[in-house]
Amino acid sequence: MKIYANAAEAAGILKRGKFDDASRTAAVRAIVAAVRERGDAALFEYCKTLDGSDLDANTVAVSRREIEEAYAVLDADLLASMKRAANNVLSYHKRNPMREDIRTQNGRTTGYTVRPVERAGIYVPGGTAPLFSSVLMGVLPAKAAGVEHIFVCTPAKNGKIAPAVLAAADLCGAEAVFKVGGAQAIAALAYGTESIPKVDVIAGPGNIYVTLAKKEVYGEVGIDMLAGPSEILIIADDRQEPRFIAADVLSQAEHDRLARALVLTDSRAFAERVQAEVERQLALLPRQSIAAESCANAGGIILVHDMAEACALANEIAPEHLEIATENCEQLLPNIRNAGAVFLGSFTPEPVGDYFAGPDHTLPTGGTARFFQVLNQDIFLRKMSVLRYTREALREDAQDIVRLAENEGLTAHANAIRARSEEEE
């Protein structure tokens, strides 16, 4: 893991890919169009071609028997931990719900009411590991919002889904789990097929094809965000334990070869200790080749003059995960504007949020934390405006409304007000 003297020297690793890969975009559009037009037939063709799963209308949905078999083979201690994590996540997402706010003053009632969407589709990546934690982080915010129908799509391998993923979906209350992944799964959820219901919102991370598919169907359905490779940025002072910082770097680097892991520090001596510790720990990892490529191509330790510069650079980068591992972490927090999630102090490593604490781990990446937010129950809720005027209130405001409408050239708008005010006269 290279040490950079400043941010300018590290410009190469700070560059991010965009969601505009022409060849992949064309491939995704073809998949989405085929599923939209041909439904199950196209869906099952792509599942066989891309995932190697030979599915039909009778096997695409996970059966109750498969779920029971998953529970039977799942380690009891793992299941207990999953249940505790699920309780934390659900309790967290039930905090401070978006509430109805309707007020009446002088005959004028205005405000909004809040309703959950009817159907949510949760995408759970397959990848190289069974990401059952992504089930919790996708299904439970929707459940907290009050969504009635929650469906999970995840790719199957040889027609099978990892037992932990199935158990997680069941204990979180998913209505159904479908053995489909990739762009074809996103298209099926967006448009509906004979076997998979059309949903209102699609949430959950995935690979570049999943992300491009979400971008393609946005507008037909709502989406949570456009998520890319995982990333972590750590602001650390020289009072930290290098072993901790190195472990946190590798906790993201092992995700995939495109994952980004960066450290900002104002101490070169500390940077060198972290660098050595990363190399030592890297040699011991089962996913060593993945983490090594990530550290080499998208990772680094960047020296800054002080913590003010570190915070300014962090805001520019807008990382998915931001750890502030400093003695004065609480004092630095007000300086942070752009991050998916912030982890404070020496004993709050990013996996605390990935699995257990409660806040969601589905976060904006690639600098999109400037405008996207962490997956939460609000993604599945809608505000609907509510208005009511009395006769007297309309009479009082009629002249202003008519004047505004006529000056926009919208005579019929003005007439809708006049018809009522003239009736009063």
Catalytic residue list: 320-321
Rg (CA), the chain: 25
Q: How far apart are CA 354 and CA 361, in angstroms?
A: 5
Q: How far apart are CA 260 and CA 227, in angstroms?
A: 13
Phi then psi for 321, rounded to 5 degrees? -115, 130
Query: How does strand 101-105 pair with strand 201-203?
Result: unpaired
Q: Tokens 């190469």 sit at which residue?
A: 12
